[in-house]
Amino acid sequence: MPKRIDFKGVVFAPIAGYSDVGMRRLCAMRGADMTVTEMISAKGLVYGSDKTEDLLHTTDSEKIKCVQIFGSEPYFISKAVEHKALEKFDVIDINMGCPVPKIVKNGEGSALLENIPLAMQVVKAARIAGKPVTVKFRLGVTADKLLAVDFAKAMQDAGASAITVHGRTREQMYSGVADWDEIAKVKKAVEIPVFVNGDIVDKKSYDKAMQITDCDGAMIARGALGNPKIFSDIKGLEIKDYSLKEDIILHLDTMLSFHHENYVAANFKKHLAYYCRGMRGQKEIKLAAFACKSADDIRQVIERYFV
């Protein structure tokens, strides 16, 4: 029987290159109610890509495990959601918001905003697995072409259990300011749970976003990078003797337990660049991090610069 999910609270978002198993474990330990993988290609999963399956590691720390897949062909979506590698996930999220040109040109990601009938077919295909299906999408294509309200209603009609709305258009990519007022309109238009996403970087911005949108929860992306404690801060959870250094080491050790050292050494540098954000001498720390060639090099940077 699928786990019964109460869609509310704070969620760690799917972020390409960052929502790895170590980061998801850390965010869950610090209070994230649900954690989402990096976006996974439905076709890549069906065709057995090792690179795709490498993104699907999980830990028992994750309270509600969500896998995000992308694709625009219902056949491949239906095959992907029944793949053995997804059995451990509680929720299937469909990416209909990615603005990256190569994704959009393939008719995937935010391209589906302009093809509601196909988007509905994709959701229905994902429901074959018998698990809750959620959808993450943007406000629209441009400021003059906002589609979120109608799109949200269609996703609800297609059987989505919840939706997440990123408060930017496809044209904006990741620039500009998230429009929480538009997300509020979506919340009023549907009966299923809605998560607000965009520009939530601390407790103050979370409270403001929730006040404006009246959403059921919030999905936090870049605000959590380098700061997994944001979830504890938002929920008012006190962590006795908190140590960022210990969190970083746990993140690194988790990655090493699932991946080859060369992979971890190459990919952990960008996390260090976020972990040192706002610290004195952050430029020096970043230079040291990007010079690392092994896990031991990374440990030396952690020991030298973090307390």
Number of neighbours of residue 90 by Cβ within 10 angstroms: 17
For residue range 14-39, list pLDDT tens digits in order: 999 999 999 999 999 999 999 999 99
C-alpha 257, offset from chain centre: 22
pLDDT band at 266 (very low <50, low <70, confident <90, very high): very high
The answer to whether residues 124 and 179 belong to one domain is yes
The answer to whether residues 118 and 26 belong to one domain is yes
Res 134 pLDDT > 70: yes
The answer to whether residues 159 and 98 belong to one domain is yes
Catalytic residues: 98
HSE-CB of 217 using CA atoms within 13 angstroms: 20
The answer to whether residues 210 and 84 belong to one domain is yes
Single-letter residue type at 294: S
Question: Total structural domains in the chain?
Answer: 2
pLDDT value of residue 48: 85
The answer to whether residues 215 and 258 belong to one domain is no
Range in 1-15, 233-247, 272-286 with the lowest mean pLDDT: 1-15
The answer to whether residues 294 and 162 belong to one domain is no
Give, as one character, the DSSP assignment of residue 49: -
The answer to whether residues 140 and 250 belong to one domain is no
Region at 278 (left for phi over 0; alpha for psi -120 to 50; beta for the rest): left
Res 1 pLDDT > 70: no
Strand 133-142 versus strand 145-146 pairing type? antiparallel
> Which residues does residue 299 pair with via DSSP β-bridges, in sequence order?
none
The answer to whether residues 106 and 179 belong to one domain is yes
- How far apart, in whole angstroms, are the C-alpha atoms of residue 279 and residue 260? 30
Domain that holds residue 219: 9-235
Res 53 pLDDT > 90: no
CA-based Rg of the chain, rounded to a whole angstrom? 19
Q: In degrees rounded to 5, what are phi and psi of residue 283? A: -65, -45
Q: pTM of the entire structure?
A: 0.96
- How far apart, in whole angstroms, are the C-alpha atoms of residue 11 and residue 209? 14
> Which residues does residue 50 pair with via DSSP β-bridges, in sequence order?
none
The answer to whether residues 262 and 167 belong to one domain is no
The answer to whether residues 148 and 271 belong to one domain is no
The answer to whether residues 219 and 263 belong to one domain is no
- How far apart, in whole angstroms, are the C-alpha atoms of residue 108 and residue 121? 13
Kind and range of the H or E element at 138?
strand 133-142
Of the three residues 235, 263, 278, the one that is the final residue of a domain is 235
The answer to whether residues 117 and 189 belong to one domain is yes
Tokens of residue 269, six digits: 């540098």
The CATH number of the domain holding residue 212 is 3.20.20.70
pLDDT value of residue 307: 85
At 165, is the secondary structure helix, strand, or coil? Answer: strand
